[in-house]
């Protein structure tokens, strides 16, 4: 289960839903709370998060750890877990991890079906970003100018997108992030040469991590892609959409 707003189910709540650890700091706090009526136990692990071949990869790491790694939370109580960076911050590029939060067997609050002896155990995944130092220069997506005094939009010039044909009616959108920090995409749409809009990912699309490449299948005919048009999306916390830089199409 990927946390997207204060994550909760069966009494377990996790806040915040993502963590940034500045280069000059060694740790950040997160909180697990129990809004249920029974005691629960949970384990917090940290895994390195990378993207390879268009897929997400998680691996064990000792660069960042959770303290304590196992908690027991009484009904109505809240437990702080500190996420501690053991390695120096990266000089030039953000490092990325995920907290894997598992409800442990034996939790009194675990959901149990009618059949005795079975439990449904919960898992949450929370992104953690160790930020590059200020000496690394501009971030991957520094603020771009915005009209009317509004908040500046993310600068997408360090993103490079291309379309890869997989057959007559199948294609893949490939996005490379050449910057020093991640970018989050949502509400991706294609606007064809005639201005007709086709929503492809109406909600959160996903992340492209710093210096890495991610890909997504597109549910639209190649004939539409070949005819021109542009991809529009929202980046990070922008309220306005921008055009995704496209370097190649079928």
Contact 35, 22 (CB under 8 A): no
Distance between CA atoms of 195 and 174, rounded to whole angstroms?
23
The tens digit of pLDDT for each residue in 139-163 reads 445 555 555 556 789 989 999 999 9
Over residues 200-230, the pLDDT tens digits come to: 999 999 999 999 999 999 988 888 888 889 9
Buried b (16+ CB within 10 A) or exposed e, 94-128: bbbbbbbbebbeebebbeeeeeeeebeebebbbbb
Q: Can you read off the two tokens belonging to residue 66?
A: 């959770």
**pTM, full prediction:** 0.85
127-137 pLDDT, tens per residue? 999 999 875 54
């Amino acid at each position: 289960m990927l946390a997207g707003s204060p994550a909760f189910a069966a009494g377990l709540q996790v806040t915040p839903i993502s963590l940034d650890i500045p280069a000059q700091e060694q740790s950040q706090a997160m909180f697990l709370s129990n809004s249920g009526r029974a005691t629960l136990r949970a384990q917090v692990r940290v895994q390195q998060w990378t993207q390879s071949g268009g897929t997400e990869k998680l691996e064990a790491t000792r660069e960042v750890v959770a303290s304590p790694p196992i908690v027991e939370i009484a009904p109505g109580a809240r437990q702080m877990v500190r996420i501690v960076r053991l390695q120096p911050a990266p000089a030039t590029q953000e490092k990325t991890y995920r907290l894997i939060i598992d409800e442990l067997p034996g939790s009194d609050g675990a959901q149990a079906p009618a059949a005795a002896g079975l439990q449904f155990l919960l898992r949450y995944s929370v992104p953690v970003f160790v930020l590059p130092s200020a000496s690394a220069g501009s971030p991957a997506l520094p603020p771009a100018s915005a009209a009317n005094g509004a908040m500046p939009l993310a600068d997408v010039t360090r993103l490079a997108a291309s379309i890869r044909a997989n057959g007559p009616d199948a294609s893949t959108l490939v996005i490379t992030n050449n910057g020093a920090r991640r970018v989050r995409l949502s509400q991706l749409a294609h606007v064809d040469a005639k201005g007709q809009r086709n929503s492809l990912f109406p909600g959160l699309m996903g992340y492209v991590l710093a210096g890495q490449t991610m890909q997504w299948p597109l549910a639209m005919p190649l004939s539409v892609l070949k005819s021109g048009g542009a991809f529009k999306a929202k980046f990070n916390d922008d309220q306005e959409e921008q055009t995704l830089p496209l370097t190649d199409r079928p």
